[in-house]
Amino acid sequence: MAFQADRCDPARAEAKVLGGVIVEARGLRKTFAGGIEALRGVSLAVRQGEVVVVVGPSGSGKSTLLRCLCGLETPDAGEVVTDGARLPGSRRDRDRIRTETGMVFQHFNLFPHLTALANVTLAPRLARGLPADRAEAEARALLGRVGLKDKTGAYPAELSGGQQQRVAIARALAMRPKVMLFDEATSALDPEMIGEVLEVMRGLAAEGMTMVVVTHEMGFAREAGDRVLFMDQGRIEEEAGAAEFFLSPRGERARRFLSRML
Amino acid sequence: MTPSSRTSPLSRLAQPLPDLLAFAALAALVVWGVLAGARNLGYHWQWYAVPATLLTWGADGPAAGPLLQGLLLTLALAGTALPLTFCLGLAACLAALSDSFAARAVSRLYLEAVRNTPLLIQIFLLWFVAAPLLGMGRFTAGVLALALFEGAYAAEILRGAVLSLPRGQWEAAHALGLSRAQTYARVVLPQALRRALPPLTGQAVSLVKDSALLSAISLFELTLRAQALVSDTFLTFEIWFTTAGLYLAVNLALSAAARTLERRVRLRG
Ligand SMILES: Nc1ncnc2c1ncn2[C@@H]1O[C@H](COP(=O)(O)OP(=O)(O)OP(=O)(O)O)[C@@H](O)[C@H]1O
Ligand SMILES: [Mg+2]
């Protein structure tokens, strides 16, 4: 347990209490077919309750990093440790990381043949072995929490982009993950729908969810982020408290990136 | 006023009229062509003899005539082969997509062997070579030959449908912690089967038509019955037209059933 006392964020009344390290990546490297080095030695440690925002230009490896953290991509070198489970590792470790890491995709990836409710109950029933009625009660509560109480019976095609993404967030939360990963969760949305999704994400952060968020929403990064990682060409180029990063980025690349984004 | 509110009910009824007239003209042309062809051959039509090939009235009520008996055997063959085809196709598709090299190799071997040799020869091989070894009856050998043949095509249809799903579906299921089997059963196949339904219906229709080749191993299904009748009665045109009509009726019913199923499982939205 430690206080982040050195951060002076006027928007926040009291300093946030962070727990121990829950997600750790050490020396991740990933080269894709064609010789593209997406990750060239990335290490990070995320503490319980921390909101880490990852920013950086297109192709800098942000998505690849998140996909390594949730086991969708196998790094060529390095390892991921989430709550004691290791990647690469045993099958049990792999399954634990998959279920304990929630992932929200840019394009929602809802199951189109299932209602919003069934999208949310599917994994708890199959992967957590929850009985149908318990899973449904939990799913209704989660859908209520993301503001979709009256959309439980709707199919994805009957929902707006913002609503679909909120169902996707509820679906990931239903597995009771220890950490939530967001890969440009608002990039595919019409401008008027970005707010409702960011609102849900802010709420999660306020409740103390551990989050790693790749986003181009600099406002969200500044308000909700505890720490910002700036990635460029497969490396973490800069790492700072959110307020500090936006006030005075140290490196030239980060400065140029920020001047383009803001 | 919008155009639609101006049109009277009568003119709305008349709208498809030109289309219908064109169709009737085309149909008339075909019938006339056939009749003219037959007249040139000096063909003597005897349609009155056809009903007896379907139903006969014996001492103890109605009995199936030879064509109807053939139709029933065709239906039995196709009806047994169809579910088997689906299971074989699904198994071969899953094997082709599996991580196991052995499963992929066996599946590939099966698909290539079946799709690149004539069905007639496969039927002969099954009946004259495999059946004596395995103690199979004629009916079983026939059903198996049909199912093995059509199953290979069904496998490729299903594989295409599975591969056509966006990668994000697999990734979402994986990130949620579903196993591979669970992902197939609850996420991938429900969507892939919907996409595969129209081409699979086409394959089912092919199966019914291809069952005619089983006449080569003396299964007295519809086509062999028709052939026997023609050589007995010389009602060449009448029998073959009637037989074609029976196949047509079976397949139209099959397609209609498939369309109903398609509508019922169509995704909302
Ligand atoms: N499956 C893949 N096969 C080949 N190359 C890939 C693959 N996935 C990513 N890459 C490459 O790896 C590099 C990093 O990609 P990544 O998607 O991680 O970037 P990103 O920071 O998320 O970019 P963006 O902001 O555009 O989403 C890019 O050059 C990309 O083209
Ligand atoms: Mg990306």
Task: Quote the pLDDT of residue A14.
Answer: 53
Q: Does residue A234 have its Cβ closer than 6 Å to ligand 1?
A: no
Residue A58 Cβ contacting ligand 1 at under 6 Å: yes
Q: Which residues of A touch B193 (CB under 8 A)?
A: none
Sort residue B63 into left (φ over 0), alpha (ψ -120 to 50) or beta. beta
What mean pLDDT value characterizes chain A? 92
Which class is B63-268 in CATH?
A: mainly alpha
B268/A102 touch (CB, cutoff 8 Å), yes or no: no
Q: What is the DSSP letter of B266?
A: P
Of B169, B157, B147, B148, the C-alpha closest to B194 is B157
Is residue A13's pLDDT more than 50? no
* Among chain A residues, CA nearest to B189: A113
C-alpha span between B142 and B151 (Å, rounded): 14
Those residues with Cβ within 8 angstroms of residue A88's Cβ, 6 or more apart along the chain or in another chain: A74, A75, A79
Q: Which residues of A touch B186 (CB under 8 A)?
A: 122, 126
Distance from CA of B160 to the nearest CA of A (A): 19
Residues with Cβ within 8 Å of B236's Cβ and at least 6 positions away in sequence, in order, are B230
Contact between A126 and B174 using a beta-carbon 8 Å cutoff? no
Closest CA to B169 of A67, A110, A202: A110
- In ligand 1, the atom with minimum distance to the C-alpha of A39 is 14
Give distance in angstroms: CA of A27 to centre of ligand 2. Answer: 20
The count of CB pairs under 8 A between chains A and B is: 70
Give residue-wise pLDDT tens across range A112-153: 999 999 999 999 999 999 999 999 999 999 999 999 999 999
Q: Give A-chain residues touching B187 at CB under 8 angstroms.
A: 111, 122
Ligand 1 pocket test: pick from A64, A74, A232 the residue with the most ligand atoms within 8 Å of its Cβ.
Answer: A64
Per-residue pLDDT of chain B (269 residues; tens, 9 = 90+): 445 455 677 777 778 888 899 999 999 999 899 888 888 888 888 899 889 899 888 888 888 999 999 999 999 999 999 999 999 999 999 999 999 999 999 999 999 999 999 999 999 999 999 999 999 999 999 999 999 999 999 999 999 999 999 999 999 999 999 999 999 999 999 999 999 999 999 999 999 999 999 999 999 999 999 999 999 999 999 999 999 999 999 999 999 999 999 999 998 76
Alpha-helical (H) ranges within chain B are 3-6, 9-14, 17-40, 51-54, 66-96, 101-115, 119-124, 131-134, 138-163, 167-175, 180-182, 189-210, 222-233, 236-265
Residues of B in contact with A107 (CB under 8 A): 168
Q: Using a 6 Å cutoff on CB, does residue A38 contact ligand 1?
A: yes
Testing ligand 1's pocket by substitution, the residue of A29, A37, A54, A58 carrying the most ligand atoms inside 8 A of its CB is A58
Give the Cα-Cα-Cα angle A208, A211, A213 (nearest 5 degrees).
Answer: 140
User: Does B169 sit within 8 Å of A123, measured CB to CB?
Assistant: no
Residue nearest to atom 16 of ligand 1 (CA): A61
Cα distances from B87 to residues A188, A192, B76, B201, B265, in angstroms, run 40, 48, 18, 15, 20
Nearest residue on chain A to B169, alpha-carbon basis: A109
Among chain A residues, CA nearest to B190: A113
| Beta bridge mates, A162 | none
Closest residue by CA, ligand 1 atom 31:
A59
DSSP for A69-103, written as a single string? HTTSS--SEEEEEETTEEES--HHHHHHHHHHEEE
Are the beta carbons of A127 and B190 separated by less than 8 Å?
A: no
Instruction: Tell me the chain A residues in contact with residue B269 when contact means C-beta distances shorter than 8 Å.
Output: 155-158
Q: Tell me the C-alpha distance between B124 and B216, whole Å.
A: 8
3-state DSSP assignment of residue A36: strand
Mind telling me how many Å the CA of A22 is from chain B's nearest CA? 18
Query: Looking at ligand 1, which residue's alpha carbon is closest to its atom 26?
Result: A58
Distance from CA of A116 to the nearest CA of B (A): 12
CA-based nearest distance A148→chain B, Å: 18
Task: Indicate yes or no: CB of B168 within 8 angstroms of CB of A156.
Answer: no
In total, chain A counts a number of residues equal to: 262
Q: Measured between alpha carbons, how far is A177 from A154 in angstroms, rounded to an integer?
A: 25
How many residues are recorded in chain B?
A: 269
Cα torsion at B163, B169, B171, B177 (round to 10°)?
-120
pLDDT number for residue B220? 96
Confidence of residue A7 (pLDDT cuts 50, 70, 90): very low
A261 in contact with ligand 1, CB cutoff 6 A: no
What is the three-class DSSP state of B234?
Answer: coil
Residues 6+ apart with CB under 8 A from B2: none
Judge whether B32 and B224 are in contact, CB under 8 Å: no
Give B161 to chain A, closest Cα distance, Å.
15
Mutate to test the pocket of ligand 1, among A31, A36, A54, A257 (most ligand atoms within 8 A of CB): A36
Classify the phi-psi angles of B221: left when phi > 0, otherwise alpha if psi is within -120 to 50, otherwise beta. Answer: beta
ipTM for the complex? Answer: 0.91
pLDDT tens figures, B237-256: 999 999 999 999 999 999 99
**Does A4 have pLDDT greater than 60?**
no
Residue with tokens 């440690």: A45
User: What is the 8-class DSSP label of residue B188?
Assistant: I
Q: pLDDT value at position A193? A: 95
- Flag if A127 and B182 touch (Cβ within 8 Å): yes
Does ligand 1 have an atom closer than 6 angstroms to the CB of A152? no
pLDDT, tens digit, for every residue of A185-203?
999 999 999 999 999 999 9
pTM value is: 0.89
Which residue lies with its CA nearest to atom 5 of ligand 1?
A: A32
With b for 16 or more beta-carbon neighbours within 10 A and e for fewer, the B109-127 pattern comes to: ebbeebeeeebeebbeebb
